[in-house]
Chains A and B, each alone.
Chain A
């Protein structure tokens, strides 16, 4: 037991400590790549760094939108898969495929699908006589394309998780509700959602954390472009470390991203706790 827990600490906790220390150091080409203490200068720089704030905003925007979309679609797919349909296993397998592919592989695929004007979507638009869309070249659209690609990949995960939750809800609850004259929408709101809420919370927490660590997709799909409109915090930190060789600031950025994630997760848990009595009340 001890070796495993030590390894866990070494991989997860130690880096955070190291970042905390490194964020008080300057370690760049100018310092000969040796750390030099600079106090809180890195943090000051962070607060004044417009690119940081822009990336933070873009990361959050991406995270909230894609997780929200995945929840809605995931619930729809879960409800579909929860019905006794023919070929349910096949359907489950098929819908699982996007999740299993490496992000870099599917990002490269999406680059071609989003191509303007030769991607299939734009070919279709052109065929219909509509103007083509610059999915990857327009700062106001590109981030949405990224949400689309991410939703395609991770909806299966959310759907399977919610499906597992749905399967814990006893069928007689629905039968009882139907006897009392509840329609489908009412039983969804009064039974399914309240009982599913712990699973929704798990899905949201997990997906939000992952979405805030957005890196693979952005790097291969857009490399942060156009005009930095899709750059994420993780990508910015990566660029600082690997391209600018500014390790102190990179560490500061990553710690900031981590804190942001904690804040957001805490917010999600709080929201869930606050919504619980209301949902429970609705059930009575």
Chain B
């Protein structure tokens, strides 16, 4: 019974969107059981200018590049912190944790200034820079905890065998951290995919919009009519990649979420 309630609470709103997205606009204001079905909403989204998949692609590009960049920057930092004394690392970590919880929307004005000064606006790859900065705290906390979980003898053994720092990372430490890296990557990717205020202010060209600002633009496009069929189709299309991601990687996402919060 409780379980049913939980499922209904979680899935109900999404199912309603799915249902709406296949209904002709005229039928939406009538009896919910009559009025037939249609694919027109999806058609118009995919034939729009730019087509809807473009936003998904943009989000994917930004998400992937930001995730990669974050890992590249965070791994050495986490390694360094994990090799510091516990006391020093702890005080650094408190600050990192504060940054991780920071409502980053408050940063948009300063970051927008950066974009203007350095001409980084309307550039998907440049958007990875603020995203990397914003994802770093979580990545550092997760990876650092994972570094600390590896017994120091393993690295010492590798050192004695003549492995340099890079070789130790590449062959011994990072393979052992694969689960943590997967968790961190997924969370970073989710964050970048969903991020709104920075994308909203850095991107203005319609064909470069990521999903979140595109969604807001769709929502704002028609205030007086009720094009909810189109809206619903957009929410469905915008949700599918994430739903797939959650279904596939539920375990890693959950472990990343809880680890990040607990160790930080």
Cβ < 8 Å to A, chain B residues 220-264: 220, 226, 228, 231-232, 234-235, 238-239, 242-243, 245-247, 250, 253-254, 257-258, 261-262
The reply to whether A164 and B28 form a contact with Cβ atoms under 8 Å apart is no
The reply to whether A91 and B16 form a contact with Cβ atoms under 8 Å apart is no
- CB of B81 closer than 8 Å to a CB of A: yes
The reply to whether A213 and B3 form a contact with Cβ atoms under 8 Å apart is no
The reply to whether A213 and B261 form a contact with Cβ atoms under 8 Å apart is no
Stretch at the interface among B6-14, B119-127, B165-173, B177-185: B6-14
The reply to whether B231 and A161 form a contact with Cβ atoms under 8 Å apart is no
**Can you list 6 A-B contacts with CB-CB less than 8 angstroms, sorted by A residue number?**
A11-B136, A80-B2, A165-B262, A202-B261, A213-B104, A213-B105
Counting chain B residues whose Cβ lies within 8 A of the other chain, the interface size class is 35 or more
Residues in B lying within 8 Å of A, measured CB to CB:
2-3, 6-7, 9-11, 13-14, 16-17, 20, 28-29, 32, 73-74, 76-77, 79-81, 92, 96, 99, 101-113, 130, 132-134, 136-137, 140, 190, 193-194, 196-197, 201, 211-213, 215-216, 218-220, 226, 228, 231-232, 234-235, 238-239, 242-243, 245-247, 250, 253-254, 257-258, 261-262
The reply to whether B250 and A101 form a contact with Cβ atoms under 8 Å apart is no
Q: How far is the CB of A49 from chain B (nearest CB, A)?
A: 18
In angstroms, Cα B92 to Cα A246, docked, is: 36
Q: How far is the CB of B226 from chain A (nearest CB, A)?
A: 7
Given the interface contacts A19-B110, A80-B3, A108-B235, does A94 sit within 8 Å of B261 by beta carbon?
Answer: no
Partner of B196, one of A15, A94, A102: A102
Report how many residues on chain A are interfacial, defined by Cβ distance under 8 Å: 78
Residues in A lying within 8 Å of B, measured CB to CB:
1, 3-5, 7-8, 10-12, 14-15, 18-19, 77, 80, 85, 87, 89, 91-98, 100-113, 115, 118, 120, 123, 152, 156-157, 160-161, 163-165, 199, 202-203, 205-206, 209-210, 212-213, 215-216, 219-220, 223, 234, 237-238, 241-242, 247, 250-251, 254, 257-258, 261
The reply to whether B212 and A94 form a contact with Cβ atoms under 8 Å apart is no
Partner of B250, one of A5, A10, A80, A93: A93
Q: How far is the CB of B253 from chain A (nearest CB, A)?
A: 7
In angstroms, Cα B140 to Cα A12, docked, is: 15
In angstroms, Cα B81 to Cα A85, docked, is: 40
The reply to whether A12 and B103 form a contact with Cβ atoms under 8 Å apart is no
5 tightest A-B CB contacts, nearest first: A213-B103, A11-B133, A1-B80, A15-B110, A4-B77
The reply to whether A100 and B242 form a contact with Cβ atoms under 8 Å apart is yes
Q: How far is the CB of A220 from chain B (nearest CB, A)?
A: 5
Given the interface contacts A220-B219, A258-B106, does A103 sit within 8 Å of B14 by beta carbon?
Answer: no
In angstroms, Cα B123 to Cα A138, docked, is: 40
The reply to whether A111 and B219 form a contact with Cβ atoms under 8 Å apart is yes
In angstroms, Cα B73 to Cα A29, docked, is: 39
In angstroms, Cα B105 to Cα A110, docked, is: 22
The reply to whether B235 and A91 form a contact with Cβ atoms under 8 Å apart is no
In angstroms, Cα B201 to Cα A81, docked, is: 40
- A203 (CB) vs chain B CBs: closest residue: B261
Select the residue from A8, A18, A80, A105 with max chain B CB neighbours within 10 A.
Answer: A105
